[in-house]
Amino acid sequence: MKTPKTAFVCSECEYRSLKWMGRCPSCGAWNTLEETLIEPETPTVKVTAAAGGGANKPVLLDDYDMPDYMRFETGYRELDRVLGGGLVYGSVVLLSGEPGIGKSTLLMQISGVLGQNKKVLYVSGEESCGQLKLRAGRLGVHSDKLYLLTETNMDAILARCDELKPDVLIVDSIQTVSTDRYTSAPGSITQVRECALACITKAKNEGLSVILVGHVNKEGGISGPKMLEHMVDAVFCFEGERRQSYRIIRAIKNRFGSTNEIGVFEMTDAGLEQVDNPSETLMSDRPRGVSGACAVCVMEGTRPLIAEVQALVTQTAFAVPRRTANGIDYNRMCLIIAVLEKRLGLKFYQNDVYLNVTGGLRLDEPSADLGIALALISGITDRVLPDDLIAVGEIGLAGECRAVSHFDYRVKEAARLGFGKIICPQKNEKKLTAKTTATLCGVSTLYDTLKLLNKQTKE
């Protein structure tokens, strides 16, 4: 009997090598080559057009009858917002996140709501039915249409689907299931790809909505081949700090909706609860009369979100000052500090700088630059900004304040939360069309911002 052949396959690009290497010569990733059994190739029969092969034929765009993609709500408005209005029949959704972030909790709560009207099959390859029952009891989930299955064989899962005919299939997780057609271990590139393809085929042929849970690797990406993200219809990432209560679900890919929307949840003893007004929740514990704090307004899809940026600037005791950023890109922070040093002459090189965004949020939009700059100026000068002041604007390397998009929505949200003074670029101030009770303070450069800040602090 011949011994099975093995090869080392890259988990990122599926490059194959007969020997192990520390770095993949194809994609350049480190420590991604994993030993995998080489499956024997089965001969395929080539079907030619003369033999009558090829059932699919090209159709005219105008003559094609568009199928009716029906949606159904999950019972959670924050999740439906990210989905684009709800789950689509025949769609496959991939949900990823760090261990312990709350993926299984969210799916169990969704199953309880969907199980009131639709038949749901919850497949777990990591927990027993007893453990799932305990979680359901803790979350208060009760349904006569929710079926639990502990199985790691994909062929058996599909057979149970044929028996039950569920409307929704949840697989937790795709890295734990495998098929008997291949001898490689569960979680390998071949097994993940083939099991995901089997779920996708089942969903497309029968109109079954499938939710797959994906593990993440130490770099933060989804484990398995990159092809997995291309195969599914939507990829969602469940983010947040496990030590903090807030969780954010963000769309990385969505064929049936926008990828700019986010959903905000709060982890409680009774499970995940929706945060309908995240701006008000994030600003509820804001300190008063403290320097180094400034409110900013960023856009997450169609939703304006107000958060607080805190800056702590202290004299350094080291030859090289320390820089720490939490919730803000480190390079962006260094860029803003360099602009403030060059254009305003502030001596940050003599101080340690610590930046933080409250609530565990991450601000990636450039419109938060002006608020970050004001927080840094307030921190180094120890001047307290007015409690009703908020800043919106992008900063260039020349120290200019550039206009931002969706300014009307930002002004309405700031006025709704009681902010009376809005520092913004002059271009946005001139083009504002919405009526507001807040006072707009247009600035064109950081020098104008500093003069305005001096005036505001004196008042």
Length reported for the chain: 459
The arithmetic mean of pLDDT across residues 343-366, rounded, is: 90
Q: Is the pLDDT of residue 118 over 50?
A: yes
Which tens digit of pLDDT belongs to each residue from 286-310? 888 899 999 999 988 778 999 999 9
pLDDT greater at residue 360 or residue 412? 412
Q: Is the pLDDT of residue 4 over 80?
A: no
The arithmetic mean of pLDDT across residues 388-412, rounded, is: 93
Give the 3-state secondary structure of residue 120: strand
Share of the chain above pLDDT 90, in %: 51
Which tens digit of pLDDT belongs to each residue from 220-247? 677 777 788 999 999 999 887 766 788 8
User: 169, 170, 192, 167: which is closest to 179 by C-alpha?
Assistant: 192
Residue 344: C-alpha distances to residues 223, 338, 347, 376, 445 (Å): 46, 10, 9, 12, 10
Which tens digit of pLDDT belongs to each residue from 425-436? 999 998 888 788
Give the 3-state secondary structure of residue 186: coil
Q: Is the pLDDT of residue 458 over 50?
A: yes
Of 31-40, 79-88, 106-115, 262-271, the range with the lowest mean pLDDT is 31-40
Q: Is the pLDDT of residue 2 over 60?
A: no
Q: What is the C-alpha separation between 69 and 87, in angstroms, rounded? A: 10
DSSP at 25: T
